[in-house]
Structure 1
């Protein structure tokens, strides 16, 4: 069960389509950090808000019992850069399975580093080497100052994904209407 039970259904209007749904169906997963980075697992609660879990060390794994329909995202614990889970930005667990003697069958969920654009990767490196207050002292093109200062944040990525999902739902609804 998620660590923070705030955001139960009925407490507030959902922020968007990406949120946990009430489910009693457990899902048995092993989150495998296949990166050389410390990783922050993040559960998306019933209101569509991120709830961070304890950090996973590089090249480690964590068995979890979560629930069908409870989305997860993963972030670099230091930089908050987005990471991928089974090749996607969001993982939504399937219904869990048990073997013939009733023991949970854990599925492996791989956390990996995406192929960042060259620009994204360069911004990451500069952020890791230069203090934020010194960005404007760098001899670089002016437009990069703002991009350096625009640090990665899960809330921005979550908002972008929520918008994409809402647009997709709207497009599907338009196709179905006469």
Structure 2
């Protein structure tokens, strides 16, 4: 299980992996010993932002991959990667996992391995309903839907993000 905690400076969010006993481990890069030559292929219908968690656990934007396209990354097996819809901020998966680390079996291979970015197998009903409404109504119509204020605000927020989605700047 993955737990998102917003506790860093300037609103930085940290991710923790939680094991069966409830122990939390910060999702971060460590060691740079075994190289992994990766190719991430976007199998979704949406642009996907790819993020790397640095050695402090801070999420760093790496690249945006358009639908059907791929991007080659030279990484290490201990480096975690995340995949997020550039507009809606929905989290996507590789091998049905929110956090991807190259398996040890690819460490040191001198050829590139392909990993498909896909939509999670289960989406929340709330998220599906929001996406459906976004396709059917304009922002100025939200008030007339009779939604509770928190849902109406969330819908407007999604609409704004989708309409003005622009790529974050990569880490230099």
Tell whether the structures are fold-level matches, with TM greater than 0.5: yes
Counterpart position of 1:145: 152
Q: Which residue among 28, 31, 34 is the counterpart of 1:22?
A: 31
Distance 1:119 1:52, change over 3 A: same
The Cα of 1:22 is off from its aligned counterpart by: 2.5
Alpha-carbon separation, structure 2, partners of 1:107 and 1:31: 9
The Cα of 1:50 is off from its aligned counterpart by: 0.9
Q: Map Cα deviations across residues 117-160 of structure 1 (whole Å, 9 max, x no partner).
A: 232111133346543x7644532244523543675x9xxxxxxx
The Cα of 1:36 is off from its aligned counterpart by: 1.1
Alpha-carbon separation, structure 2, partners of 1:130 and 1:46: 42
Counterpart position of 1:83: 92
Q: Which runs of 5+ in 1 are unaligned?
A: 1-13, 99-103, 154-178
Q: Which runs of 5+ in 2 are unaligned?
A: 1-13, 16-24, 162-172
RMSD across aligned positions (CA)? 2.6
Look at both structures and tell me which one has the larger radius of gyration over its CA atoms.
1
**Any idea what SS the aligned residue of 1:140 has?**
coil
Counterpart position of 2:40: 31
Q: Does 1:59 align with 2:68?
A: yes
Query: Is the contact between residue 77 and residue 101 of structure 2 (CA under 8 Å) also seen in structure 1?
Result: yes
Of Structure 1 and Structure 2, which has the larger fraction of its residues in strand?
2
**1:19-168 superposed matches below 5 A:** 19-95=28-104, 96-98=107-109, 104-114=110-120, 115-127=122-134, 129-131=137-139, 135-148=142-155
Distance 1:39 1:136, change over 3 A: same
How many positions carry a matched residue from both structures?
133
